[in-house]
Amino acid sequence: MTLDLQTKRILVTGGAGFLGRQVIAQLVQAGADNNKITVTRSQTDDLRVLATCQRVAEHQDIIIHLAAHVGGIGLNQVKPGELFYDNLMMGVQLIHSAYQAGVEKFVCVGTICAYPKFTPVPFKENDLWNGYPEETNAPYGIAKKALLVQLQAYRQQYNFNGIYLLPVNLYGPEDNFKPDSSHVIPALIRKVHEAQQRGDKQLPVWGDGSPTREFLYSEDAARGIVMGTVGYNDAEPVNLGTGYEISIRDLISLICELMDFDGEIVYQTDKPNGQPRRCLDTERAKKAFGFTAQVDFTQGLKNTIAWYRQNAS
């Protein structure tokens, strides 16, 4: 069963954010009526409050839940309690409110941090429960993983159609470049840019550069989310990724090369590395609803760097 988006009232939580704006653009491209898309904003719609979730879920046909309190290793170390509570409460209450309001479909966007610390690479969805997540982001990862359990339980008991998508690390223009909460790519781009502005000859970076990561361009991720919204209706979680793995060391070298920074990279080995390897098996998304990533990684980085340079204050 595929959904015709044209007549659907769609709520996108976090729709004003980095990924959310892309998802809305992809929804419209897939036939949704822009006038029937509602976006929640954290300033006026605190989804940690049950009454807010009940209000925003009313009269919606589809809810795409992107809103999250999220950041890099630094934020996860400083605010693990907040990250656990905020993400769990937003998701649990919104799913329950959606069920109560008779919402036709709930699309929950989870996190790669839900995977166990030591997972065979590439990560397969069936390995999601084979161990504890990497410690620095476990509270966040477990809070988001609990929503998968809730959706599967509500499907079993109430026949509620909720799906769970697992995008790998995202990047792209309009990303969060704040130094206290950004992820690795925007953090590195900003760091290199500021080093160049100051004329620094050294670039200090966290960890030893050995971990590997996979990155998905935000436009690709949004397309995958919309394809899943339209064409996927099963209980099992689905990875969204590229299947391309790069070490942090190689990533830093590539960003420095693209930004013409030729200083020395200084690895701060007393800082945490995070999960040793991250790379997804993307077969299920391909088979279930035909999703494959399209944007070349180097081109995606160039686009992101260009956007940051244009918008850096």
- What beta strand segments (E) does 207-275 contain? 212-213, 215-217, 238-240, 246-247, 264-268
DSSP code at position 128? T
Model confidence pLDDT, tens digit, residues 145-178: 999 999 999 999 999 999 999 999 999 999 989 8
Model confidence pLDDT, tens digit, residues 235-261: 999 999 999 999 999 999 999 999 999
What's the confidence (pLDDT) of residue 37? 98
Q: Are 123 and 141 in contact (CB under 8 A)?
A: no
Please give the Cα distance from 171 to 246 (Å, whole number): 14
Q: Which residues fall in the annotated binding site for substrate?
A: 191, 206, 213
What mean pLDDT do residues 72-85 have? 83
Q: Residue 308 — φ and ψ, nearest 5°?
A: -65, -45
Task: State which amino acid sits at residue 138.
Answer: A
140 catalytic? Reply is yes
Bigger pLDDT: 273 or 28?
Answer: 28
Task: Give the percent of the chain with pLDDT over 90.
Answer: 84
Chain Cα centroid distance, residue 13: 13
Stretch (H or E) spanning 148: helix 138-158
Asked if the model's pLDDT at residue 73 lies above 80, the reply is no
Tell me the sheet residues that pair with 215: 169
Among candidate residues 99, 115, 140, 171, the one labeled active-site is: 140
- Looking at the domain that runs over 10-174+215-244+277-295, which CATH code has it been given? 3.40.50.720
What's the confidence (pLDDT) of residue 86? 96
pLDDT class of 313 with cuts at 50, 70, 90: low
What's the confidence (pLDDT) of residue 71? 67
Q: Which residues fall in the annotated binding site for NADP(+)?
A: 14-20, 144, 167-170, 183
What mean pLDDT do residues 81-109 have? 97
pLDDT class of 273 with cuts at 50, 70, 90: confident
Model confidence pLDDT, tens digit, residues 111-121: 988 999 888 99
Q: Which residues fall in the annotated binding site?
A: 14-20, 144, 167-170, 183, 191, 206, 213
What's the confidence (pLDDT) of residue 115? 94
What mean pLDDT do residues 220-246 have? 97
Model confidence pLDDT, tens digit, residues 36-72: 999 999 889 999 999 999 999 999 999 999 999 876 6
What mean pLDDT do residues 264-285 have? 89
For the chain, the first-to-last Cα distance in angstroms comes to 47
Asked if the model's pLDDT at residue 217 lies above 90, the reply is yes
Nearest to 25 by CA among 239, 242, 172: 172
Q: Are 173 and 222 in contact (CB under 8 A)?
A: no
Kindly report the average pLDDT of the chain as a whole number.
94
pLDDT class of 182 with cuts at 50, 70, 90: confident
